[in-house]
A = this chain, B = another copy of it.
Amino acid sequence: MNTVPVWSVDARTGVRSVQVTVEAEAGDVDRAVRAAHAALPALADRSARSALLRAAAEQLEARGPDLIAAADRETALGTARLTGELARTAYQLRAFAEVVDEGAFLDVVVDHADPQAAPAPRPDLRRWKVPLGVVAVFAASNFPFAFSVPGGDTASALAAGCPVVAKAHPDHPETSELTAGALRAAAESVGLPADVLVLVHGRQAGVDLVRHPLVSAAGFTGSIAGGRALYDLAAARPVPIPFHGELGSLNPVVVTERAAAERAEEIGAGLGGSFTLGMGQFCTKPGLVLVPEGASGDRLEKALVSATAGAAAGALLDGRMRDNFLTGFAERAALPGVSVPVQAGAQPGPGQEQAVRPGCVSVPAALLAGEEHRALLEECFGPVTVLARYQDLDQVAAVLAGLGGNLTATLHAEPGEPEAAGLLERLAGLAGRVLFGGWPTGVAVAPAMHHGGPYPATTSTSTSVGGTAVERWLRPVVYQSVPRELLPPELRDGDAAGVPRRVDGVLQLR
């Protein structure tokens, strides 16, 4: 008997609206995984996969108004942001359709038999990649489309040929149901089983998913605590599975003395816009900004204060996050030596009972070396950033040396600054994406994108955004001396399949 209700909650008011469904119990999860697993053979057809991805984009767009309304109510992210996020999600699905059609991701390598080869005769070898199997996708709270049921993990898994069992995020169960419905309808519209995507709800369902013998890999976006617990479960299985988790990131920014001198106001205002964007709920929010002591840094701080004080109040994704944000801010603000240029706090209004206003703190960089100030080097979800005022680049280096892995790291320097190369190299050692100028919020969906970084940013060396995200759900298989008629078309000689290949050691485009 399934008895635990799953409610849709209005994020702005904290009030329950409708009961969407009930949480999945062990038997439900087992049925979901088996249903998805049964859809695996149907996804072997690459053209069906790209048709599915394109149809999914169309379905999401056709249902856009309903999806955005539900997501706005459940997340309070606003229709403008959600309209953009849905467009991004549809674009991403189509981008993966192109990845599927091109076929480079199959990594085809052909070595013809060579009885004269050194150091030993070589048989005919033809390698490509095959889908791992059912993928468990854990939806994120902060992107109800782009990193949730129809998001990058799902799109890349389907592109790889893997059916998906998605675990809905409890912050947006109705949006999850609606988007899952869109994807299932898309599957049926192209002649695939709807069960290429199956949705489950409930925390225990997520645990059951990671433990299920027919689940072959998992993708996760969420907190360090939750992600690490699931990673540990995945690693402890009798048959361990890859767990691609994106867990948390401080996203350090370094502003050089010269950059502050030249562009204090621009940088301060830009930072204010970036850390409050989406109410500071981006995984790429700049959470620690190293700014020089002195007049230029003071100007920058002043511009930041002005931008922060002028930023709108708004609700966070749920009440727990709101509480954690308020507690986290207060904890940081209370540390010795920390000043509070803008105090964050609750700011309820009519229909906005859950709203908070952004804030920032400032601290001498030298204090960050101590264990007492450790919290300032840890991510605080929500609209807060930490300015660390440094006296010299040795202090910068010391702070950076104390950081864990990050999704991004940003350098604001002026053209030709001699220190820039060394700083950039140091930042590249800490992060998967290194920016020169600009702000890390905003992750372009592009072939070159890498959205990942050293632990705890991610639990693997892979990305969850960009074309290479498909690599996570594949494993190589090589066929040795297999007759042509028994080979997949992509592995046969001739150009019937037309995918890029490496043949006898030489790359070929077609």
Contacts and interface: CB of A to CB of B under 8 A. Distances in A.
Contact of A481 (B84, B405, B436): B436
B444 A122 contact: yes
A446 B445 CA distance: 35
A187 B444 CA distance: 41
Q: Which residue, of A104, A132, A242, A454, has the highest number of chain B Cβ atoms within 10 A?
A: A454
A431 B477 contact: yes
Contacts of A479: 428, 433-434, 436
Contact of A433 (B107, B122, B460, B477): B477
Q: Which residue, of A122, A130, A421, A448, has the highest number of chain B Cβ atoms within 10 A?
A: A448
B104 A118 contact: no
A471 to B, nearest CB: 9
A98 B477 CA distance: 23
A435 B479 CA distance: 6
Interface string A102-141: 0010010111000001111011011100101000000000
A442 B123 CA distance: 10
How many copies of this kind of chain does the complex include?
Answer: 2
A404 B240 CA distance: 12
A463 interface: yes
B477 A432 contact: yes
Interface stretch (A249-257, A353-361, A380-388, A500-508): A500-508
A291 B500 CA distance: 39
Given A109-B448, A232-B235, A239-B455, A461 B438 contact: no
Q: Which residue, of A415, A432, A438, has the highest number of chain B Cβ atoms within 10 A?
A: A432
A87 interface: yes
Interface residues on A, range: 35 or more
Given A476-B468, A482-B424, A461 B242 contact: yes
Interface string A478-504: 111111001000000000000010101
Nearest to A451: B478
A475 interface: yes
Contact of A480 (B126, B438, B460): B438
A231 interface: yes
A448 B91 CA distance: 33
Contacts of A502: 104, 447-448
A49 interface: no
B120 A84 contact: yes
Contacts of A437: 481
A452 B476 contact: yes
A46 interface: no
Nearest to A404: B239
A88 interface: yes
Q: Which residue, of A107, A232, A428, A449, has the highest number of chain B Cβ atoms within 10 A?
A: A449
B455 A240 contact: yes
A242 B235 CA distance: 11
A474 interface: yes
Interface of A: 84, 87-88, 90-91, 98, 104, 107, 109-111, 117-120, 122-123, 125-127, 130, 132, 231-232, 235-236, 239-240, 242, 404-405, 415, 420-421, 424, 428, 431-438, 442, 444-450, 452, 454-456, 459-461, 463, 467-468, 474-483, 486, 500, 502, 504-505, 507, 509
11 contacts: A88-B119, A111-B444, A120-B444, A125-B446, A127-B448, A127-B449, A434-B480, A436-B480, A436-B482, A450-B477, A500-B507
